[in-house]
Structures are given as C-alpha cells and as structure tokens.
A and B are shown apart, each in its own frame.
Chain A
C-alpha cells in the first residue's frame, strides 16, 4: 500500500521569501513518480512539478523546485520568491504501477503574507 504524509497542515511565508513544504511517502514499488499539486480557492487541481523516482536530479520549474531524497522517501517542495498567487493548498502525491493510481497526502495550506 502507498501512503503519503504531509506533516504541516498550514504554513505561512512572507512575500518574496522562500518556503519549503515537507512530504514523505512509503511504497514498495521500485518504479514510481511523485507530484506536487496546487489547489487554489478556485478548487482547480494544478500540477506544479513532478519527479520520476529513477532520476537522481531534482526537478525544477521556474520558482518551484524539489528536494528528492529517495533513500529517506522524502519529497519536499521549495517555493522561491513567494508571490501572493502562490497561496493555496498544496498536495504531495505518489503514483506507481501500470494503472497510474495516485495517492495524495492530506495537504498543506500555504498563506503568503504581503
């Protein structure tokens, strides 16, 4: 069984500062992939970044980057130069297997303070 744990229910960051959201996971699969999704108040789930487990290099997308520690089963999201539009719920997710079953964490609510 796959589990995804986000231990920070809420986080806050000052505008233009950097914040890191934590995520740990557990899986017995050897081939899997990890995601961070953003859910703003509009409810739309938006993919922020993804990481293939076989890749050692950490994924980056503009101001968003991950710290993927495979041995520790850790997948944190770093947001640099935080903007007001970054305020949202952030969900860590893990998927594996041929059926693309994705398991989500419980989410971290990020507040950006002007």
Chain B
C-alpha cells in the first residue's frame, strides 16, 4: 500500500560503476521528482517529470539520467559513479494542479560510493 516506493533502500557501490534507482507511485499523480539530500541534510531538486515529459532539469551532471517509462514510474540512472554522488536520493510525486499541492515522498535510497 506504499504510495511512493523506491528500490533499493540502500546501495553501496564502487567508483566508476553504473547504477539505477527505481521509483513507482500508485497515487495516480502526473508529476514525479528526484531530490538529492546531501550529508548536511540539504534537499535539492534534480529533476521533475510531468506525464513522462521532463519539466525541470536542475544543474545536474549529465551522468545522471532520469527515465520515465510511464507516469507511474521515474527511474534514475547514474553512470560512472563518483565519491561525491554519495547521498540520499528521494523520489516524490504530486498531482498536476496549478495551485496548492504537496509532494509525497518515497523512503529514500541511501547511496554510498566507495
């Protein structure tokens, strides 16, 4: 019954590897996001998709590539992982409305690059 689910919850990998994080929402929302939370707990948006279309793409290295096969899924693929990529990555979703809304978050994926 989890509204926004991410897999895996924990990911430990070596520098240079390629990894993916999956996200699925069962809320029927049109908009999905990826956020990065660094070691100082600062939460920053990376990408936003609406109905499988990229809407927001903040300054993120092009090693990060989001993929949205359908509006219920937004996966994050990271190439050539670096130590600085270590962080908690949150997927979120929200309804497509022009006014008041809120983002529903997944439980986060703690990525550790060694």
Instruction: Give A contacts to B, CB under 8 Å.
Output: 31, 33, 35, 37, 39, 42-47, 50, 52, 89, 91, 95, 98-104, 106-107
Q: For residue A102, which residue of chain B has the nearest CB? A: B103
B55 at the interface (CB under 8 A from A): yes
A99 vs B94: C-alpha distance in the bound complex, in angstroms?
A: 10
A23 to chain B, nearest CB (A): 14
Given contacts A100-B101, A101-B48, A101-B56, contact A45 B41 (CB under 8 A): no
Chain B: interface residue total (CB-CB under 8 A): 28
Contact residues of B with A, CB < 8 Å? 31, 40-45, 48, 50, 55-56, 88, 90, 92, 94, 96-105, 107-108, 110
Q: Is the CB of B108 within 8 A of A101?
A: no
Q: Are B108 and A31 within 8 A (Cβ)?
A: no
Inter-chain CA distance A103–B100, complex, in Å, is 14
Contact residues in B for A89 (Cβ distance below 8 Å): 41
* Contact partners of B88 in chain A: CB under 8 A: 43
